[in-house]
Chains A and B, each alone.
Chain A
Amino acid sequence: MVDTKVFLSGIELSNPIIPASGTFGFGAEFERFYDLNILGSISLKGTTAQPRFGNPTPRIAECPSGMLNSVGLQNPGVLEVCETELPRLKEVYIKPVVANISGFSIEEYVECALAMDSQEQVGIIEVNISCPNVHGGGMSFGVSPKAAAEVTRAVKDVCSKPVYIKLSPNVSNIAEIALACEKAGADGISLINTLLAMRIDLKTKKPLLANVMGGLSGPAIFPVALRMVYEVYKAVSIPIIGMGGVSSAEDVIEMMLAGASAVQVGAANLKNPFACKEIIETLPAAMEKYGIDSLSEIIGGAH
């Protein structure tokens, strides 16, 4: 029997698989597909202080081995999430969840973090400072070490639960930003968010996405994500949740060897709603194949 259990800031996960924010709704949407309790945890749809419709459509485009989205943080607002979505999820999922929050100002991040911190089922607050689809918000905090540290400190000040900062890959030195977050008190780092990208419609000769640019995800970005997890692992000593194009048990093992303590699966859920279930089911065999007895022992093993 192989051991798939891992820990994030003292929280035990039966396995490292977490559906990534924005690809799993608020969880309950997937309950009709399989028993969600097989998941290590769930990262909820990015939530803001106020309700948001998001960007105009088309919001989705495709590329070889991946997809682009410019959803723009559509969500019903933190109050609705706490009053409706979390109670709905609690009926079908018993483990601690990752609450992904976003904002347009430090005050909004704090408001959202405060509300989530008081929710019993929230185990980790994941602060998204990396949404590429929202002008003037999200990512602007994630591209400067100083701004990233400020958000981290402000959220940490009001939260009793572990705070993970979700970083943008659209920077020249991601390790520097991760280090700034660690110094500001972050309990962990999540990376990577999507890569800023675009497509042009050859028929109209105009950008395919109404928002012009969007975030690239899927297997196309896996090697980039892996490299960044590797770099950040070298720079910080807090746990890392690795993500970006993970689609198989082998990808999970690779991510953990690069330095991830847990792994999020994103775009793969949209192509195959059973992706996380299939990865969890094939993980033990993949571990055996590569002579791994315990997953927690391989974290950072490639260094």
Chain B
Amino acid sequence: MKKDIFTILTNEKLAKDVFKMTLQGDTSEIKASGQFVNIELSGLFLRRPISVCDLEGDVLTLIYKTVGEGTEQMSRLSKGDKLDLLTGLGNGYDITKCGEKLLLAGGGVGVPPLYLLARQLIKTGKIPSVILGFNSKEDVFFEDEFKALGAEVFVTTADGSYGIKGFVTDAIAQIKSWDYSFACGPEAMLKAVYDCSEKDGQFSFEERMGCGFGACMGCSCKTKYGAKRICVEGPVLEKEEIIW
């Protein structure tokens, strides 16, 4: 973990209430996709945890949805503004554990961490099938970016206004063969992916956090191997250890 001041390079709207921010700073502690950073914001006591979407040298990409005071403040920042970040938090996805035919399932702002993951997998010669689930057409983002990586991409919308009508699990039915999954999204989506097959996988969870680095026990969850902190032993849990 590292604490460093990052400088905002870009901050732009991607979809309804969804923004993409790129920042420059010391990214040396970020070791895996699925990890997160914890951002200090003006006038707010707690930092805001946001997952790493992409990493290229010392440039970090974050995608966030404006859901409250903190993320709204982030959306108002512009190029040159500085942010205090704790980086390299959480365990992240372990790509040494997966099989060959991979399924990546993301829901809403659960989509971003799958981008760096997909990029890393493709680098190792594994072309994943990617399902991006959203509520509606106006929420859709990063379809083209995943396609540009060379991944097979399916988009679902709950209201059917774009792509496949339904949830990510409706798209899973269309994918012929996969033997391992990586998922990130709301708990109901994770549960649906978990239930739809016996195959192994890694699931990234979200929880309200105090510190983000293991000190306060605010984000603990129960697993088959005892209590784990979402911020340190998570946010990624192996399928076989999850207790719903």
Q: Which residues of A are in contact with B by a Cβ distance under 8 Å? A: 22-25, 29-30, 32-33, 45, 53-54, 57-67, 69, 71, 74, 218-219, 267, 269-274
Contact = CB atoms under 8 A, between A and B. Distances in A.
B211 A273 contact: yes
B118 to A, nearest CB: 29
A273 B217 contact: no
Contact of B208 (A23, A32, A57): A57
Contacts of A58: 207-208
A243 to B, nearest CB: 15
B216 interface: yes
A57 B46 contact: no
A271 B40 contact: yes
A33 B215 CA distance: 12
Across the A-B interface, give the 9 residue pairs with the lowest CB-CB distance, nearest first: A270-B211, A60-B218, A58-B208, A74-B217, A60-B208, A60-B210, A270-B210, A59-B218, A62-B46
B3 A273 contact: yes
B209 interface: yes
B214 interface: yes
Nearest to A210: B208
A49 B101 CA distance: 48
Interface stretch (B15-23, B102-110, B140-148, B220-228): B220-228
Contacts of A54: 217, 220
A61 B217 contact: no
A57 B221 contact: yes
B244 interface: no
A63 B45 contact: yes
A22 B216 contact: yes
A29 B45 contact: no
B188 interface: no
Contacts of B43: 64
Contact of A271 (B47, B217, B227): B47
Contacts of A62: 44-46
Contacts of B6: none
A297 B45 CA distance: 33
Most chain A CB within a 10 A radius of its CB, from B40, B208, B213, B218: B218
Most chain A CB within a 10 A radius of its CB, from B208, B210, B220, B222: B210
A57 B229 CA distance: 11
Contacts of A45: 217
A19 B197 CA distance: 47
Contacts of A63: 45
B234 to A, nearest CB: 12
A32 B221 CA distance: 24
A-side binding surface: helix, strand, loop or mixed?
loop
Interface in B61-91: 86
Interface size class of B (residues with CB under 8 A): 20 to 34
B216 A69 contact: yes
A55 to B, nearest CB: 9
A60 B86 contact: no
A23 B213 CA distance: 11
A270 B216 contact: yes
A32 B211 contact: no
Nearest to B84: A272
B196 interface: no
B218 A53 contact: no
A273 B210 CA distance: 12
Contacts of A33: 1
Interface in B168-222: 207-211, 213-222
Given A57-B221, A58-B208, A271 B216 contact: no
Contacts of B3: 272-274
Contacts of A59: 208, 210, 217-220
Contacts of A29: 213-215
A59 B219 CA distance: 7
A273 B45 contact: no
A69 B222 contact: no
A44 to B, nearest CB: 12
A62 B208 CA distance: 10
Given A69-B210, A74-B227, A60 B46 contact: yes
A61 B44 CA distance: 12
Contact of A60 (B213, B214, B219, B227): B219
Contacts of A22: 216-217
A57 B45 contact: no
A115 B44 CA distance: 40
Nearest to A65: B45
Contacts of A270: 46, 210-211, 215-216
16 contacts: A24-B215, A25-B215, A45-B217, A57-B218, A57-B220, A59-B220, A60-B210, A61-B208, A62-B45, A62-B46, A67-B210, A69-B210, A71-B216, A267-B45, A271-B47, A273-B213
Most chain B CB within a 10 A radius of its CB, from A32, A62, A69: A62
